[in-house]
Structure 1
Amino acid sequence: MNSSFHTMWDELRPIGRDSSSGGYRRAAWTGADTDCRAWFRAQAEARGLSYERDRNGNQWAWLGAASYTDVAAGEAVVTGSHLDSVPDGGAFDGPLGVVSGFAALDELRRRGAEFGKPLAIVNFGDEEGARFGLACVGSRLTAGLLTPEAAHELRDADGVTLPQAMERAGYDPSAIGPDRERLDRIGAFVELHVEQGRALDLTGDAVGIASAIWPHGRWRFDFHGEANHAGTTRLEDRRDPMLTYAETVLAAREQARLAGALATFAKISVEPNGVNAIPSLVRGWLDSRAADQDTLDTVTKEIERAATERGARDGVDVRVVRESFSPIVEFGHALRDELGAILGRTGTGGARTVPVLGTGAGHDAGILSGTVPTAMLFVRNPTGVSHSPTETAAEDDCVAGITALADVLEGLACT
């Protein structure tokens, strides 16, 4: 199993890695994304699995079926994650789940496991939303949570639409849309993911089970002011949107702190973006998350109120658009408890209790949870750092994650 994991990790590691930052740039439908997809297909074919890509560009590798059409309703056991990244992201966020899926299959074959149900490994496309601004595009389309019409309107920073990007990568954008027949075949989807936080490090556990995903969303704040000369315009004569934006960033931090929530402005665009020009427009994107819906609503409303009030004082017009939203996801207790029972039985040294923890990060498993039974396994992150080149996981913990996933798949899919 170690050999299998190392071989795959070494092959995948260089793809999309930026030499200057050390981070990964694997945005959807780019050259790096194409190379990752080729890697996935090669892993499937090397193991004698049936390979297919669905109408939304997601990739599937099947054991015990030539295609999803050969699978009875509710019969398939599926694992996997994603291979794309945020700009200068880490190596583990997403890929660890895909690599672990193949490695877990290798481990089960080494054990001589006999599969009673079809098994699939999946790579969902554009999970991070780094290029088009909407997370989990592949799984959202599949689950019917993103309409084809809305998907066709998505554009990247260069004005390239999602259909244009798909077409350039050799995919047919006219086919995108809900894929209920495929999802109806899935009896359980288990996503393994590196933890994006330090809960497991604090408890001393290598592996945990997800309880819930916090509700979260992305809001675009447009601050419209008046362009003018930075060297000649008196401070009291300015309608400077950058000032309003800066105060809104501070307000977001304060509101999140007071509510025990999270609020982050991390992306910004400025027009005309000149050193000696007061901006006419500052556009900032807010990411906010909280443990419950009421708290999230309160935080975002207070941030918008603070922005509007400050804008009135600065002579700046503030407009807010919610670009995406994901409600709270409570993973089904039946599958979650089954995972806990399986891992409790197979723990080294006898029965053990596997920690159950929530997360503020969104995942494909969360998107699918309203349609199919889903669960998640987390692998310890010793620093808690994610979406960064310094994201890491220890080799022993990765191996523990693979073992746990193999145990779960054996419990769910094998006779």
Structure 2
Amino acid sequence: MRLRPALCLVLLVVALFGAGSTAVAAASTVGTAALTARGDDPETVKVTGKLVNRDDTGSTPVGGGKVTVTGASGAEYSATSRPDGGFSVEVPFEVGPLSIELDERSLPDGVTLREGGRNPITRTVSGTLPLTVTFVLGKGDRQTMSWADQIPQSLFNGLYFGLIISLGALGLSLIFATTRLTNFAHGEMVTFGALVTYALNVTGIDIWLAGLLAAGLAGVFGFAQDRFFWRPIRRRGTGVLAMMIISIGVQFILRNVYQFFTGGRTETYRQYTTPEGHRLGPITYSVRDVVCVAIALVLVVGVTIALRRTRLGRATRAVADNAALAATTGINVNRVITTVWSVGALLAATCGLLLGFSQAVKFDLGALQLLVMFAAITVGGLGSVWGAVLGSLLVGTLIEMSTLVIPSELKMAAALFLLIGVLLVRPQGLLGRAQRIG
């Protein structure tokens, strides 16, 4: 019987990912030209992308543009962009430089490569890491924005990112509030949502329906995790520290499973990868952004209302305050905790679905955002629902705004500085309650 939790975890992983091998289907990128250092055939390199002409009136797809890729051996491979602007070129895999060139003579009248834009562009293929190529089309010189002009867009991007991250942080906070477990495997549920959505989407299922199914499967996965793995561990009286270490092990198991099935490649959804941009004053947004924000808002507001108004929500708050006292009043503590795990996994998977649009789909997507989620719930206040949301918005905004003054590669450090500052001034977090220890 001592092996039961471990055996249950193995069975869960096998059951959920036995059917998930379709996630290794090759990506079809429809954003700016993306070079993936392995195509559908492991002996080829796929170059896919979309030609878009941008001017003061908006963005227009450019069809008929000829793109030529020259390999290290000198062989040339060409493709013409479709009416939607998309194109795809596959060349034999060779370690060495690749030259990607846009034939400007093939562009429609009035469409030109912007002055100063590079053409051709050279990239070096050395492994499976994705490379990105962008051709800047449009009349006139390429405009640069001043530091002050970039503030509104950076603020919008930060609030958008923070709202999406708040879904994952909210689930992480709920699990901590009811179990006192710092779940390091929570980021893998974010990845789960993105990978399952991608696997369903490449089979022809609409992206939003695929995301709904992925969130449902994640909820089932979360339920099964607690019912067959974490609950037996809690029943044995395992300490919180030991459970946290176990969650780190679960994190690595799931991440390696993801890496095995995806081959470590970076993939993209088949739909809405490069939506048409719209302008609202100094801010550029897309309909996809509006839909993502609406989904996140509905879930965040829905969860907070449910915690306040429903019987299960009140029971959850009681368990979070004092599980032993809640049990004496007749509340089924185990059922509440299992429900929280299910809801938390659903929220995390939805977070992964939405992150997949802007950050692509890869096996470590959730792991890369786990630190941001931890910073968010710590800044907002551990165990506080609204604290998780507030912390996410603050952290997301600071991360994006910091790119105005520091290189984008260092932007995650901004979240750590905010975390340290809040802990020094208010250790319980902005909306957390101070508690006596000892």
Shorter-chain TM band: under 0.3
| TM-score, structure 1 normalization | 0.23
Structure with the greater alpha carbon radius of gyration: 2
| TM-score, structure 2 normalization | 0.22
- Answer 1 or 2: which has greater helix percent: 2
